[in-house]
Amino acid sequence: MKSLSIPSIVKLNNGQDMPRIGLGTAGIKDVAIIVYESIKDGVRLIDTAECYENEKEIGEGLTRAINDGIVKREELFIVTKLWVNRKHEAEESIKEQLASLNLGYVDLYLDHWPMPIYKSKNGEQKAVPAHKVWRQMEDLVIKGYTRSIGVCNYNVQSLMDLLSYAKIKPVVNQFEFHPYLNQINLVKYCQANDIQVMAYNSICRGGYVSKYHSHVNLNLLEEEIIKEMAEKYKTNTGVIALNWSLSQGLIVIPSTSNPRRMKENLKALDFEMSAEDIENIAKLNNGYRFCGSALFKQFSGGVDVFS
């Protein structure tokens, strides 16, 4: 059994350091308090997005933590995203988001959805090719609004296309990854091209799971293999679920409405799971996606376009 700890920082392809574990904020309650308490407990990575409708509250938590002297701005790594109906106006979008977050810049800005055709906020039909979206994203780096840029939910084909014209390479691809949805070929492609993988829904819980999939009888933390690994590594099942992704070189962003849970989640860095144990947990793979774009028919037309 491996016992070596996992490095808490990863080096991005532009030389920037990024924490390996952070707080995901989609659908969590009392987010300003959770952000503040998580930072007190050692979390330095916070992930949000315009469509989460919580950037103002996150900004309150960040500002309070900085003003209380718990952390300096440069010690934090803040991630937010360009929502699908703002792809024609990325600079306007990030300016509004920075104002809500009360920040002068973010550390990473992601293209949230790989969709070139959509309806804008005022309902107007828009078609913005991916290369034009990415040029706007690159301009945000040049103008200092964000230090890095990346993507969400891009599959291999979308990444291949992006890499054919990108002047600034994406540093991260954020997509759903857990034992039920083991997208190993996509992970391998990202890693082969020096793009870090940021996994969401690592524990298969959270707001959109309960909202859209309460009928599904899947509970990762109650799987026998997960409980066996928790006993073997002397920890809890949530930590095992996070460590499974971390041990494969990924970044994780579990969400929680419990102000003390993130301190516990950080323990997932304390050990590295063996290759055999990783493989055994991977046998749970059934291709089940908890967060599919087909849920948002106003943008996707009911077709799943995610990776």
Active site residues: 52
Angle made by CA atoms 259, 264, 268, in degrees to the nearest 5: 140
Residues in a beta bridge with 77: 45
Name the one residue in this structure whose structure tokens are 């492609």: 189
Determine whether 135 is exposed, middle or buried from the number of CB atoms within 10 Å of its CB (0-12, 13-18, 19+): middle
**Joined tokens for residue 114:** 């790989």
Residue 90 parent element (H or E): helix 90-101
Angle, helix 275-282 to helix 237-246, in steps of 10 degrees: 110
User: What single letter denotes the amino acid at residue 136?
Assistant: Q
Q: Tell me which long-range contacts 188-191 makes (C-beta under 8 A, separation of at least 24).
A: 189/156, 189/159, 190/159, 191/249
Residues in a beta bridge with 80: 109
Determine whether 91 is exposed, middle or buried from the number of CB atoms within 10 Å of its CB (0-12, 13-18, 19+): middle
